[in-house]
A and B are shown apart, each in its own frame.
Chain A
Amino acid sequence: MVIQPGKCTTTQGDMFSMKALSPAHIAQPSNDVTVRFRRASGSPCYPSHNSFREAAGLQRFMMAADSEPESEVFEITDFTTASEWERFISKVEEVLNDWKLIGASSGKSLEKGAYTTEAWEEKSDEIAFADFRFSVTHHYLVQESNDKDAKEELVEDVLPVSMQDLLCMNNDFPPRAHCLVRWYGLREFVVIAPAANNDAVLSESKCNLLLSSVSIALGNTGCQVPVFVQIHHKWRRMYVGECQGPGVRTDFEMVHLRKVPSQYTHLSGLLDIFKSKIGCPLTPLPPINISIRLTYVLQDWQQYFWPQQPPDIDALVGGEVGGLEFGKLPFGACEDPISELHLATTWPHLTEGIIVDNDVYSDLDPLQAPQWSVRVRKADNPQCLLSDFVNEFFKVCRRKESTDEILGRSAFEEDGKDADISHALSKLTEPAPVPIHKLSVTNMVHTAKKKIRKHRGIDESPLNNDVLNTILLYLFPDAADKLTDVSEARTSTSAGSLPPPDNEDYNLYIQFKSAPSDSLTYKLALCLCMINFYHGGVKGVAHLWQEFVLEMRFRWENNIFIPGLASGAPDLRCCLLHQKLQMLNCCIERKKARDEGKKVNSDRSSADTGKPDGSKESDKEKEVGKSWESWSDSEDEFFECLSDTEDLKANGQEGGKKGIPKDGSKETISLKPEGRLHQHGNLTLLHPGDPLYVPVTQEPAPMTEDLLEEQSEVLAKLGTSAEGAHLRARMQSACLLSDMESFKAANPGCCLEDFVRWYSPRDYIEEEIVDEKGNVVIKGDLSARMKIPSNMWVEAWETAKPIPARRQRRLFDDTREAEKVLHYLAVQKPADLARHLLPCVIHAAVLKVKEEESLEDISSVKKIIKLIITHSSKVLRFPNPEDKKLEEIIGQILSVEATIARARSLKAKFGVEKCDKEEERKDLERFVNSFLEQPEVSVIGAGRGPAGTIIHKLFMSAQRLTEPTEETASMMPLDDELKRSGSMDEKRMNLGSAADFPLPAGREVILRTTVPRPAPYSKALPQRMYSVLTKEDFRLAGAFSSDTTFF
């Protein structure tokens, strides 16, 4: 095998030799490569090669004759003295063997479009040639192996399936495929290419060596899968290869040029090369089958300018909606997400002579092409609003600065916060509630701003008043209504008052661990997101947050509920920040109840007109529920403000002891029942026989998840010893003790059995026994475990004093908890805040995408959104999700947004909305949507169908727009279309609509025939040549088969 391009004397008409090219093209920079592999015996470079190959060939035939494994012997002997090169060959063979690519290939001809619809797979391995590493990759179309039966029918000398594929016309011009598939129509092949980080194979001798190796390996193994070697720089996609079958061989050769020689720009020139290349000795030549595809690119969409602009927040503040509302995220692409339209006009099946296409004339009128198909080119990473929003917010997570550092000083540290706290504390001791009817957000804003200004010494803050006021009003709508008694505000704004919609979208917060979409937390997240994007970035975020924290403190101090939070204990399914706000509301609720109780009392003492729920008529107690409001009738002031900071958890028992009221003597003497909630069925006390009352009890302390974690850590730390367990129980017995005290207060004269019957009925065992007199009586007794001497229950019962809940020491120190929450809020950096709220933002983004999709109804997008939700809920439910995963989610949202934007762009371009006829519009809509799902969409009716007509018009108007810029056209009237012509086609006569289209950006031609080669008496074998001409390059890819037995 000799490879001597340009040097050796060749048979005439070898178009793949350099000789065939004009000197002008040879002079092209080295980018132009012509590779010619000719086979002849007696290579001077690799004498062993030939003999090796002969030997291999011989061996194979022997094997075919009698399948003795002589090959192994052969290989083993050779291995001992193997050169690098021989080792390389055997490695190639090994890989081919491993992949089971040996032996006759089989398969039916493939269905139309199978290369696009079926899956392609690849297997890779690495092999070395000395210290140069190659990757070997097997690419193959995955086929169901139901053609096993077909295999049996195989006749001895049937052509390898790859050779048959050369002629198959069902998969010409696949929309997306490996280039070797496009060029040669192969369903399966192996590529040997330099491994990553290895240099390209540039020198002729190396190329030759590689191809020779392949040839030998194929011969040795009997592999019928074509094997290619990638040579030259990767980007040039230069491959040479070979396929072997019984007595036949196909050589794959290639020409790649920067500039096309003029004779190859048209069909007749290409036919000439093809004919001379196959060098068929027969006359007349068997017919040559021709397939042509011309591709036109449309870039000018000027008639449809892209309408979307980023919304303006100032418009919003001014009351205008302008595409943006608080609580609504923006959506859509800022630039056209569709950049090009590619129209492929195809003549799938022509024979020579039917059509004329030469240097002066062409029959190839795109409008007349029998097949049209279209694809769109998507803009790379179009700027999309929603994704930008979310991304920018996500970036805040990585900021390191504290709020104060960002705002430039520490206002709240100095007189801000400390003053607030002392103020707050002093307020607790003042009996009269502050008049709060003049609450206004604006006032608050001004105070906060003043503080900031004072410290910074500059008269600017990141957010201007208007923006800030608008946002605060949006977040705290109760503040707007100055006339409403703010104490009523809660019922009107709290989400708890409305039954939350029970639908999938609403409940998404459970999956995402965010917050309900109508909650303050969620709204805050959206506002911060918006502020971050439009108003001063992280500075704006810090500023708004500071205002928010001030508002929280204001509400705590003034007993104003925080709106937009479900009432009750913190919802552990929501994000921590949401829980904290709920916690603060719990604190406000209790403080408010207490303060109002005081107020009522002072009112009453002045005018002794008993309140309806006055406790003096104890039999008719009307205590409403277990809430703190019901304590407001307290006569004895006992609102211990716990300034002592002893640990609540550890002092359950002691608390009980300390909680003896000031006038405890009076209390213990009195047997007057107190704090009754209601009668407990018709149970009566065991001894006095009075009805058993369920007492009003203290609500257990609400907890946020971090507190719970802390608590469970403390509890776990006590260990598993008996003492540890005892201590643990004691720490948690505060609630039990409090309940016992309440019970004792409500049921004078009761005993532990009575308590257990209410509290843990299963621990009071009743048995029917027959007494001495023979009567069946029910005898009850405590369960064994309750009777254990000095168990915690007995112990607690003995300690418990009869004290109604309202006079007990508080189980929940709202003052302390509120201050803890407020402090927590104040120290959150913008980054912390962003992390807290990111789940809400992602939640909102997903809802937005869902909403937008529902307008377009794109089934593929629906599926992806579902996937995003499952994925996000997995990531977000865990604490501290990794950034990488969050980025992934945001990226997924971006891709959906872009897809929807593309659908809209396409609809606008094809004028779907403008289409009057219902039927036609539906068709068009379907056509347009299929762009999003298929790489290439065929146009029904080609240039004459409704879609084709629209496409034609699009091209026409684009042509008109570009025309005046061209010199030749500038002097002519616009509509003088006949005279117009492109530079390259200048001399060619244009027919019909050709002028409506630009020059084709791609010209692909496939020529095929079956002729005997190399001699007239050789077997007739498939021959194929593919050519593609684009603006950048020109390529000829030939597959020429020859008979290796009869030549």
Chain B
Amino acid sequence: MDEDILTTLKILIIGESGVGKSSLLLRFTDDTFDPELAATIGVDFKVKTISVDGNKAKLAIWDTAGQERFRTLTPSYYRGAQGVILVYDVTRRDTFAKLDNWLTELETYCTRNDIVKMLVGNKIDKENREVDRNEGLKFARKHSMLFIEASAKTCDGVQCAFEELVEKIIQTPGLWESESQNRGVKLSNDEDGHRGACGGYCSVL
């Protein structure tokens, strides 16, 4: 059954408390919106298999608590993640302002330097927007991230966000194949070994 699954990808969702991380994930995995979702304690975990460009990928998605106090616990889950979704709330500027901190944390704890990052501006269904789309775009460009605005409530952009991320991960060589394709460094063309029997390149003596 699992035979056609290309790979299992570890994805991480981070961002300030209450920006809608768990809601986004729930929308993606169960296609529902539950206003009665409790604030996350520690980390939560969901699995979903998706197909991108005909490749099946199993996503193991870790939803972390944005709560300050849980943060000492969560960085450990950064280990080995191939993709990360960084969420802010477009109706709360403070959640956007904290993005830099999250990136620093990511840099510190994530074990791969080629992790694929996606920025999601959530809750665009709400009216009291405080962060302009362009600001998000600018931030994402500055930090080489993917960017999308979404709403867990109306479903806007949610599916797309996850698919884009997975596609990008799959396109990043060495990221999903657990590194097996590291090419060696060709150092010097020391051809002294070719001396004697020829056919190759050699010197007179």
A832 to B121, CA, bound (A): 46
- Residue A725 interfacial (CB < 8 Å): yes
CA distance A763 to B16 in the complex (A): 12
Complex interface: chain A residues within 8 A of B179 (CB): 874-875, 878
Which B residues are CB-close (under 8 A) to A377? 192
Which chain B positions have C-beta within 8 A of A311?
Answer: none
Which one of A56-64, A387-395, A520-528, A778-786 contacts B?
A: A778-786
CB neighbours (8 Å) of A77 from chain B are none
Asked if A451 is an interface residue, CB under 8 A from chain B, the answer is no
Would you call A176 and B202 a contact (CB within 8 A)? Answer: yes
Could you list 30 A-B pairs, sorted by A, with CB under 8 Å? A173-B204, A175-B203, A176-B203, A177-B201, A178-B198, A178-B202, A179-B202, A193-B199, A234-B197, A235-B198, A377-B192, A572-B75, A572-B109, A705-B79, A708-B77, A712-B76, A728-B45, A735-B42, A735-B70, A762-B18, A762-B92, A785-B35, A785-B37, A785-B39, A786-B39, A860-B188, A864-B185, A870-B185, A885-B182, A888-B184
In the complex, A785 Cα to B41 Cα: how many Å? 13
Given known pairs A182-B204, A785-B36, the reply for A733 and B198 (CB within 8 Å) is no
Residues of A within 8 Å of B196, CB to CB, are 235
Whether B185 lies near A759 (C-beta < 8 A) is no
Q: Closest CB-CB distance, B27 to chain A, in whole Å?
A: 14
B residues less than 8 Å from A864 (CB atoms): 185, 187-188
Cβ B41 vs Cβ A716 within 8 A: no
Interface-lining segment among A416-424, A534-542, A746-754, A788-796: A788-796
Closest to B41 in A: A729
A256 to B130, CA, bound (A): 87
B40 close to A729 (CB less than 8 A) = yes
Q: Report whether A729 and B198 are in contact in the complex, using a CB–CB cutoff of 8 Å.
A: no
- Interchain CA distance A966-B19 in the complex, whole Å: 92
Report whether B204 and A877 are in contact in the complex, using a CB–CB cutoff of 8 Å: no
Does A368 belong to the interface (CB within 8 Å)?
no
Q: CA–CA, A492 to B23, complex, Å?
A: 49
Interface residues of A (CB under 8 A from B): 120, 173, 175-179, 182, 191, 193, 230, 234-235, 237, 295, 297, 342, 375, 377-378, 380, 513, 569, 572-573, 700, 703, 705, 708-709, 711-712, 715-716, 718, 720, 725, 728-729, 731-733, 735-736, 739, 759-760, 762-763, 783-786, 788, 791-793, 860, 864, 867-868, 870-871, 874-875, 877-878, 885, 888, 892, 895-896, 899, 935, 1001-1002, 1004, 1028, 1030
> Contact at A712–B77, with CB atoms within 8 Å?
yes
B132 at the interface (CB under 8 A from A): no
B205 near A: Cβ within 8 Å? yes
Decide if B128 is an interface residue (CB 8 Å cutoff).
no
Asked if residues B60 and A375 are in contact (CB atoms below 8 Å), the reply is no
Quick one: which of B1-34 are within 8 Å of A by CB? 16-18, 29
- Contacting pair B69 A735 (CB below 8 A): yes
Contact B38 A791 (CB under 8 A): yes
From 38 to 67 in chain B, residues with beta carbon under 8 angstroms from any chain A beta carbon are 38-47, 60, 62, 67
Chain B neighbourhood of A784, CB < 8 A: 35-36
Give the top 10 A-B pairs by smallest Cβ distance, nearest first. Answer: A732-B42, A708-B76, A235-B197, A791-B38, A729-B41, A762-B18, A867-B185, A237-B198, A878-B179, A871-B185
What are the residues of chain B within 8 A of A297 when measuring CB–CB? 205
Expressed in whole angstroms, the Cα–Cα distance for A466 and B139 within the complex equals 60
Q: Is the interface of B mostly helix, strand, loop or mixed?
A: loop
| Interface check B72, CB cutoff 8 A | yes
Known interface pairs A733-B41, A760-B39; A700-B202 also in contact (CB < 8 Å) = no
A720-B29, A762-B18 are known contacts. Are A732 and B41 too (CB-CB below 8 A)? Answer: yes
A-B contact count (CB 8 A): 170
Cβ–Cβ contact A375 & B203, under 8 A: yes
Residues of chain B having any CB pair with chain A under 8 Å: 16-18, 29, 35-47, 60, 62, 67-70, 72-73, 75-77, 79, 92, 108-109, 111-113, 174, 178-179, 182, 184-185, 187-188, 190-192, 196-205
- Please name all residues of chain B whose beta carbon is closer than 8 Å to the beta carbon of A712 when the two chains form the complex: 43, 45, 62, 76-77
CA distance A735 to B71 in the complex (A): 11
Starting from the known contacts A720-B46, A729-B41, 10 additional A-B residue pairs (CB-CB under 8 Å) come to A712-B45, A712-B62, A715-B42, A729-B42, A735-B69, A759-B68, A759-B69, A763-B39, A793-B38, A877-B112
Chain A proximity of B68: nearest CB distance (Å): 8
Q: Distance in Å from the Cβ of B105 to the closest Cβ of chain A?
A: 12
CA distance A94 to B127 in the complex (A): 72
Q: How far is A1010 from B111 in the complex, measured between Cα atoms in Å?
A: 69
Contacts of A178 in B (CB 8 A): 198, 200-202
| Given known A-B contacts A179-B202, A871-B182, A572 and B79 have beta carbons under 8 A apart | yes
With CB as the reference atom, state the residue of chain B lying closest to A888: B184
A935 and chain B: residue at smallest CB distance: B203
Chain A residues within 8 Å of B198, by CB: 178-179, 234-235, 237
Contact call B76/A703, Cβ cutoff below 8 A: yes
Partner of B67, one of A176, A179, A759, A899: A759
Chain A residues positioned under 8 Å from B16 (CB to CB): 762
Question: Are A732 and B205 closer than 8 Å at their CB atoms?
Answer: no
B36 lies within 8 A of A788 (CB): yes
Smallest CB–CB gap between A546 and chain B, Å? Answer: 31
Cβ contacts under 8 Å, B200 to chain A: 178
Q: Report the bound CA distance from A870 to B79 in whole Å.
A: 20
Smallest Cβ distance from B179 to chain A, in angstroms?
5
